[in-house]
Amino acid sequence: MKRSLMEILRCPKCKGELELNVIQEEDEIEEGTLECGKCDITYPIEEGIPNMIPQR
Amino acid sequence: MDDAKRAGETFDSIAEHFDRTRNRTWDEVIEFIKAGEGRLLDMGCGNGRHSLAALEYGYDVTGLDASGKLLDICRKKTNSMDWIKGDVKTLPFEKQAFNRVVCIAVIHHLKKNRTDCVKEIRRVLKSDGRALISTWAREQDRWELEEDQRDVMVPWHLEDGTVVQRFYHLYTLEELVEEVKRGELKVIRAYNSGGNNYVECRR
């Protein structure tokens, strides 16, 4: 995913802003996490694709 | 099982075959895309056929789907746009983020709470935004349904002989219009074309 996506990407549950943690970045973010502090949910970014379906 | 998980798993299991056999873009969708500009959400993007068309017309495109396998296929086609795994009933976006939303042949795969999907489209549309929602038309002759039946399982035949059943809720055009209105979107036009029902709408 591109960093510019952060402008519109939100937690699907509370619609609040997310904290981006980058693990691997090339032309775009390949691996990382997106954290919602309010909902205490971490959304993984794997092979460039954020998974925004809450896993619990 | 949750709708997004079920639909995601169903389409994961047919992803490659689906991609090889579903490359044609729909004229009705192209016509809608051509009329706008800005940021476009392809909601339930599948193998990305309409996302790629929107890219060609100059949009900043985001494709969202519940099938991880279809998204992997999409990302191999282009990384000039963002691909997101998500649930169409609870979108991971800021309100009023998009100028255009297309939701093509998607909400008929949800067993319940389909109105939530329409409400989410409304939430993420800009005040002057437009959305195009389509579903398979119940009016098609090929269905053999009871008078009040709307829900049906439709088999997908893989090349190895495996059969995967896909859930469909078949709306009439009138019922799709009512669904859009329940989701508090305003109907610009509603029509039947090529076996599908379409509703173009706005906030």
Domain-embedded: residue B8: yes
Task: Please report the sign of the dihedral spanned by the C-alpha atoms of residue B199, residue B92, residue B51, residue B12.
Answer: negative
Report which of B159, B125, B140, B165 is spatially closest to residue B11, judged by C-alpha positions.
Answer: B165
Q: Is the ipTM of this complex over 0.95?
A: yes
Say if the Cβ atoms of B8 and A53 lie within 8 Å: yes
**pLDDT class for B39, splitting at 50, 70, 90?**
very high
Say if the Cβ atoms of B86 and A53 lie within 8 Å: yes
- Three-state SS annotation for chain A: CCHHHHHCECCCCCCCCCEEEEEEECCCEEEEEEEECCCCEEEEEECCEEECCCCC
Least reliable range by pLDDT among B62-66, B75-79, B138-142, B190-194: B138-142
- Chain B contacts in chain A segment 7-46 (CB below 8 A): 7-13, 15, 27-28, 43
Q: For residue B24, give both structure tokens.
A: 């044609």
Mean pLDDT (chain B) is 96
pTM, two decimals, is: 0.96
Domain-embedded: residue B160: no
Domain-embedded: residue B190: yes
pLDDT of residue A56: 57
Indicate whether A54 pLDDT > 90: no
Indicate whether A49 pLDDT > 70: yes
Residue B75: CATH number of its domain? 3.40.50.150
Contact B72, B89 (CB under 8 A): no
Distance, in Å, from the CA atom of B75 to the CA atom of B22, rounded to the nearest integer, reads 16
pLDDT of residue A43: 98
Q: Residue B31's domain spans which residues?
A: 3-151+178-202
- What is the CA angle B30-B84-B136, rounded to 5? 45
Domain-embedded: residue B159: no
Domain-embedded: residue B77: yes
Domain-embedded: residue B191: yes
pLDDT per residue over B93-113, tens digit each?
999 999 999 999 999 999 999
Domain-embedded: residue B163: no
Domain-embedded: residue B168: no
Phi, psi of A53 (to 5 degrees): -95, 115
pLDDT per residue over B117-142, tens digit each?
999 999 999 999 999 999 999 998 78
- Residue B97 has its nearest CB partner, among A8, A27, A48, at A8
**pLDDT class for B145, splitting at 50, 70, 90?**
confident
The total domain count for chain B is 1
B-chain CB neighbours of A13 within 8 Å are 90
Neighbours of B145 (CB within 10 A): 11
